[in-house]
Structure 1
Amino acid sequence: MLWKSAENDKLKLEWNWLQSVAIFMVISNVFMPAFASLLALRVLFRYGWRAIASPVNQAYFGLSLWMIFTTIIAFNPPTAAGGLANFLPYFFLAAITSYIIRTSTQFIHLLWLLVLSSLMVSGFGILQAVIDRPDWIFPKVIFDSYPIPMGFSPDRRIQSFFGHFNETAAYLLMILPIALHFALGKVKSISKSQQVIATIALALGTCVLVLTGSRNAWGLVIFGAVILAIYYRQWKLVAGFGVISLVIAWGVFGHELGLGGEVVRSLLPEGFVNRLASTVDPKLGGYSSTADRLNAWQFALSLISQHPIQGWGLRNFPLVAQSMGYNLRGLPHEHNLFLAIAVGSGIPALLGFIGIIGWTIYASFTSALIKESEGMIVAVTIGVMLFLFSGWLDLVLYEPRLSMLLWFLLGGMYGLTRHDK
């Protein structure tokens, strides 16, 4: 049963609403956040603040107040106020999710719906690759706020429903560990047909992740697979991933380091090799993205050293750079989640952000319901950590659907903890 007792029947509407958001979340970064916001407001006005005012949710509220304060004193307050929309509504979404999710059965079901929903992302990505007509533009008025080309980009990358390849990759980084856990039959409470669907989602999602051309995501998904293999105590699989990774690294980077590897390099797809090698090789065109990031990070660290407490205001980074005559080489932001928070709202906000997520994960792992979750808490934690690790090289939290997914996962984990009685 999804509910512990009749006492929770009053939340059936909210639970059904939450399931609807989980299923259709990926199709629009405008309508679905609005639909989720209505759910959050309903919970607040019907049950009141006291109903959701648990310790972690109070920490969200405190962090929100600090971000509002830094917005008032920001370099450009109107722009910083817009930046609040990338954080505050999603803190609220995590809070109401933790109020609605009360049992491990609910938690598992919500996760399966998220995996089911990912079929739309991966299926559409595969369709783009098959059609490969980038001059055909999918009408933006149907699903999204921007046009979507029905084919590969000039540098042979696929973006699916999202506005950028790295956003698609970050989405899949959160979903694939969960899909893998379902696909391997680790969750006995789901049906065989659900396991098959999860397997299909895993296979298609992995293909699309490769097609996004995100070097960051490629490395992280292997790292996540190794961590899961360690959790499953599949030591042969761990060793296999390690050997394969070392061989690929030898083939891609061995020549530059004087270690050979030409034979392995010749067996790998040229585009794959060049994409990875360009990360560190200034002679390749793709290295410019590395150089531009290093340039932006240097300036971000300089700004943090000048205003370490209050920051400069969320999303004020390019405005401050322009006012100081600093050339960001076309980058619109810091390309680092943690630097963006510290530049925008200061080091206290960054510590609060990391602390709340760490608190949520710690509380989930120490909860008595971790066994009832059939390992899903571990899979979700890996997905969340992979997303956060991707934040070291990019800043994709500005995409509403990614934020919704992240805070759904964290809110669901915390829901098990706060109702563990």
Structure 2
Amino acid sequence: MFWKSLEDRSILGEWRSLQTIALLMVTNNIFMPFFAALLMLWVLFCRGWRSLVTPITIGYFWLSLWMILTTLTAWDFGTAAVGLANFLPFFLLAATTSYIVRTPAQFIHLLWLFVVGSILVGGFGILQVVINRPDLRFPKAIFDSYIIPMGFSSDRRIQSLFGHFNETAIYLLMILPIALHFAIGKVKSISKSQRIIAAIALCLGLAILIMTGSRNAWGLALIGAVIMAIYYRQWLIVSGFTVVTLAIAWAVFGSRLGLGGEWLRSLLPQGFVLRLASTLDPSLGDYASTADRLNAWQFATSLISQHPLQGWGLRNFPKVAAGMNFDLRGLPHEHNLFLAIAVGAGIPALLGLIGIIVGLFKRSLQSALIKQTEGMIVIVAIAIALCLMSGWLDIVIYEPRVSMLFWYLLGSMDGLCRSTNQSNACGA
């Protein structure tokens, strides 16, 4: 039914390809990006580069040019050139998506496919829990380039189809607000059966999010829930989340600050409490991850102060550290997306990317599209914001599927704003 909403039936093939990729994207981090690349190249060469031009994609072009220039002056040119692959192809992916997704019906349907696809992540994670045979390795050639253990890790965490627990968590963190909006009936254009499927995806995703053990994602999930409750004007829920969050903080950190809370702490799962407490308690083993991040951030800040404009080259952080005999304690990158961009391509690149995203949000959220997408464009903005906030503590967009989802969401928002029948609403 959704192809009927297309203004230009000539892009029906591209729209069908995009839907297929959206549905199956989580299954493989090599083949699915390859198929997405084929679609991008098809649109670029068969439709022409002018078909991709919007105010936002012009921003991508200039940001890409700056990143290429900084690569020429990088500490290690080869590494920086490879680092461009984490950004430039995904800028084109967003531009291609903005060309294909032109109507609210397409937008909603594409999001629905992402939610359905996430059931594979949740379902496979539950399968790992049930089997719980970490020594049993799933054939990586079928679904992934990673080795996938069919059970909990040594510290009782589940990674599902991704190579790391945090990648699974942030992928689901972007999906869950969208699934919730579908499941509670905020989108009237879908059927009751679709709402049930969305509810299944929501429950599975939430369960696996918890079992990833990602403290970053746990905190952001609470923040996202509060933001959505505010958007829905559910003030009782906002109050409830606030009380629960303060109670957990009291139970976990109260004794350390001399504020008590031991009795409440005893009622919470020990693994959950220790996982959170270790964030700030040097006496606990998991505190090392916090200390290592602080160590890397200090060095990254120093590098930015030395080369604030051109940076040191994308993905060059560990090489520069090695060249300067700085001990990163085994960290492969800055563990902060914003520092990584500033270190790699300079402060102008960081400001450029932030400016593009803020500009897109402003054009989308101050328009009639909120009503026409049944509020879904607001929920997508929340999902994108949560992913960006996760970048304060880690970098997961180096995982192709996480990055694809992020840029698909941005591109589809831009597509609605560039479409002819929405030009007035978007202020074009």
TM-score where L is the length of structure 1: 0.99
Equivalent residue, structure 2, for 1:265: 265
Q: Quote the offset at 1:7 in angstroms.
A: 4.8
- The code of the aligned residue for 1:97 comes to T
1:405 matched to 2:396? The reply is: no
1:205 matched to 2:205? The reply is: yes
Q: Quote the offset at 1:146 in angstroms.
A: 1.5
Matches within 5 A, 1:2-401: 2=2, 7-401=7-401
Aligned length: 421
- The code of the aligned residue for 2:374 comes to E
Cα deviation digits, residues 312-358 of structure 1 (max 9, x gap): 00000000000000000000100000000000000000001111111
| Alpha-carbon separation, structure 1, partners of 2:6 and 2:257 | 65
Q: Quote the offset at 1:72 in angstroms.
A: 1.1
Q: Quote the offset at 1:2 in angstroms.
A: 3.5
> Is the Cα–Cα contact under 8 Å of residues 135 and 149 in structure 2 kept in the other structure?
yes
Cα deviation digits, residues 60-105 of structure 1 (max 9, x gap): 0110011011111100000000000000000000001001001000
Q: Secondary structure at the match of 2:342?
A: helix
> Is the Cα–Cα contact under 8 Å of residues 5 and 103 in structure 2 kept in the other structure?
no
| Alpha-carbon separation, structure 1, partners of 2:43 and 2:228 | 35
> Is the Cα–Cα contact under 8 Å of residues 307 and 346 in structure 1 kept in the other structure?
yes
- The code of the aligned residue for 2:141 comes to V
> Is the Cα–Cα contact under 8 Å of residues 158 and 165 in structure 1 kept in the other structure?
yes
| Counterparts in 2 of 1:8 and 1:48: CA distance versus 1, 3 Å | same
> Is the Cα–Cα contact under 8 Å of residues 2 and 103 in structure 1 kept in the other structure?
no
> Is the Cα–Cα contact under 8 Å of residues 311 and 346 in structure 1 kept in the other structure?
yes
Q: Quote the offset at 1:359 in angstroms.
A: 1.1
> Is the Cα–Cα contact under 8 Å of residues 4 and 103 in structure 1 kept in the other structure?
no
Tell me which moved more, 83-92 or 362-371. Answer: 362-371
| Alpha-carbon separation, structure 2, partners of 1:344 and 1:240 | 42
| Alpha-carbon separation, structure 1, partners of 2:31 and 2:309 | 36
Q: Secondary structure at the match of 2:64?
A: helix
Cα deviation digits, residues 360-405 of structure 1 (max 9, x gap): 1111112322211001011111111111000000011110001100
Q: Quote the offset at 1:197 in angstroms.
A: 0.4
Unaligned runs of 5+ in 1: none
Q: Secondary structure at the match of 1:61?
A: helix
Unaligned runs of 5+ in 2: 424-428
- The code of the aligned residue for 1:98 comes to S
Q: Quote the offset at 1:3 in angstroms.
A: 5.6
Q: Secondary structure at the match of 2:327?
A: coil
| Alpha-carbon separation, structure 2, partners of 1:351 and 1:6 | 35
| Counterparts in 2 of 1:333 and 1:53: CA distance versus 1, 3 Å | same
TM-score where L is the length of structure 2: 0.97
Tell me which moved more, 357-366 or 272-281. Answer: 357-366
> Is the Cα–Cα contact under 8 Å of residues 3 and 102 in structure 1 kept in the other structure?
no
| Alpha-carbon separation, structure 1, partners of 2:414 and 2:264 | 46
| Alpha-carbon separation, structure 1, partners of 2:251 and 2:60 | 46
> Is the Cα–Cα contact under 8 Å of residues 3 and 12 in structure 2 kept in the other structure?
no
> Is the Cα–Cα contact under 8 Å of residues 80 and 316 in structure 2 kept in the other structure?
yes
> Is the Cα–Cα contact under 8 Å of residues 6 and 103 in structure 2 kept in the other structure?
no
- The code of the aligned residue for 1:331 comes to L
Cα deviation digits, residues 108-130 of structure 1 (max 9, x gap): 00000000000000110111111
> Is the Cα–Cα contact under 8 Å of residues 311 and 345 in structure 1 kept in the other structure?
yes
